[in-house]
A and B are shown apart, each in its own frame.
Chain A
Amino acid sequence: MSKKRSYMNCLEFRRELNIHPHSSAAEFVAHARECPRCAQAQADALAFESTLGRALAIPPPPNLAESILLAQATQQRRERQRWASGAGWLTLAAAAVLAVGVGWRVTRAQPLGDAAIAHMLGAEAPALAMTAPVAAGDVRKAFAKRGVDLTQVPADISYVQCCPVGKFKSVHMVMPRANGPVTVMYLVDDKGSTRADFAHAGWIGRSVPMAHGTLVMIGHDASQFAQIEQEWQSTLQASTRI
């Protein structure tokens, strides 16, 4: 035991050292200055704190901030859509009443291709710039939310989110490719009868009936669609409905 020259004795110092290793309290600093054994204990404790801090600093996933901001933008958009849908129903009801009166007919909903491109260019447009691959587990989770159990997942998916696309329930993904990103949307339980190509706002797309729904691909280079279609064909054929 060292000589007690400060207000704090060795026991008090060691206790404080385990509670506040970085303490700058005057009596704590004074004791360390006067007691070599406690000064050594403090040096060891600070080295331990440094190692502890480094060990706890688990690196966050890449694109964590971007994925949170996208989720927030998507949520806002959904809320707006719900609100607009409520207002839309009122408008539609009024139009229907009017139509009965004057013999008009309500026009058909927006075509699938236009709805998909409009969705892609909406709040989730920043997803087109994402390149870091998402975990296969996240893709499986998104499909599971839509009632599809994937046993395998294609590589190189940089974005995945469950989204409403117009009236359709979809899993919205981005697959970066050499000639630009391809947006891939799988519309569950909405299986068209034929494949179709479409174009809108400078983008080209293709919809393909597949397994439990329809796969929609959108990009600037249609030559990239065939391989993606093949990958998803084998993936979805091996999947099951849950």
Chain B
Amino acid sequence: MATDGSKSVVSSKQRQFDALVRGLSGDLYRYAYWLCGEDALAHDLVQEAFLRAWRSLDSLRDTGSAKAWLITILRREHARLYERKTPQFADVDEIEVADERETHTPESVGEDGLIRAAMQRLDAKYREPLLMQVLGGFSCEEIARELNITPAAVMTQVFRARQKLKGMLAGDVKEAQLHELS
């Protein structure tokens, strides 16, 4: 009987892990991609983060906080393995958008490309809180806890992130218009 109970615990842990992977690996990959700027590295980071998550899955008590928990693991993994690595951001032309091209108009792909390029140029201290807000759906308080800064600092950073992003995009659009005229 003890064996049956043990098997049941193991399979419920595996089911929980499967659900986390299937439900959140895409979100985590997007976060990792914008964190490191490389698709293969993002894939490795997500995989390592999930393998670490598996080993400490018993510490996850609240399923509602699973995404934040995984992002914490991912950020630690990124810091641990790649903090000394200079990010090699891809050119906008090299960013893989094949899946999206099927559903978006050429105009929107161009606009998305400009935004992606601007995000790559955005300083990490502005990019990360903005990513957590836009991609992760986290509140300023949650971001503050994760980044270990004050909520007021988070508000300042997301405010400036948007300002800088819009400023860069306005410059890019003007430059694109000049190229069209010349």
| Chain A residues packing against B (C-beta within 8 Å) | 15, 18-20, 48-49, 51-61, 64-65, 67-69, 71-72, 75, 135, 137-138
When chains A and B are docked, how far (Å) is the Cα of A60 from the Cα of B155? 29
**Chain B neighbourhood of A55, CB < 8 A:** 111-113, 115-116, 119
Find out whether the CB atom of B25 lies under 8 angstroms from the CB atom of A18.
no
B140 lies within 8 A of A69 (CB): no
Question: B residues engaging A (CB < 8 A)?
Answer: 17-18, 21-22, 25-26, 29-30, 33-34, 39-40, 43, 46-47, 50-51, 54, 95-100, 104, 108, 111-113, 115-116, 119, 131, 134-135, 140, 155, 158-159, 162-163, 165-166
Q: Is the CB of A18 within 8 A of B134?
A: no
Enumerate the 4 nearest inter-chain pairs by beta-carbon distance, A residue then B residue, closest first.
A55-B115, A55-B112, A59-B99, A60-B29
| Contact present for A56 and B119 (CB under 8 Å) | yes
Contacts of A72 in B (CB 8 A): 17, 21, 50-51, 54
Partner of B29, one of A52, A64, A135, A137: A64
- Between A54, A60, A68, the greatest number of chain B beta carbons within 10 A of the residue's beta carbon is seen for A68
- Which of B21, B43, B162 is close to A69, meaning CB atoms less than 8 Å apart? B21
Q: Which residues of A contact B111 (CB under 8 A)?
A: 51, 55
DSSP majority for the B interface? helix
Q: Which residues of A contact B99 (CB under 8 A)?
A: 59
| Contact status A65-B21, CB under 8 Å | yes
Residues of B within 8 A of A59 (CB): 96-100
Residues of B within 8 A of A71 (CB): 47, 50-51
Which chain A residues lie closer than 8 Å to B47 at the CB level? 67-68, 71
Query: Which of A20, A53, A57, A64 gathers most chain B CB within 10 Å?
Result: A64
Pick the residue among A18, A65, A69, A137 that contacts B163 (CB under 8 A). Answer: A18
Question: Can you offer 24 A-B residue contacts whose CB atoms are under 8 A?
Answer: A15-B159, A18-B159, A49-B134, A51-B111, A51-B112, A52-B115, A53-B135, A54-B104, A56-B116, A58-B30, A58-B34, A58-B96, A59-B98, A59-B100, A60-B29, A61-B39, A64-B25, A64-B43, A65-B21, A65-B22, A68-B50, A68-B51, A72-B54, A75-B54
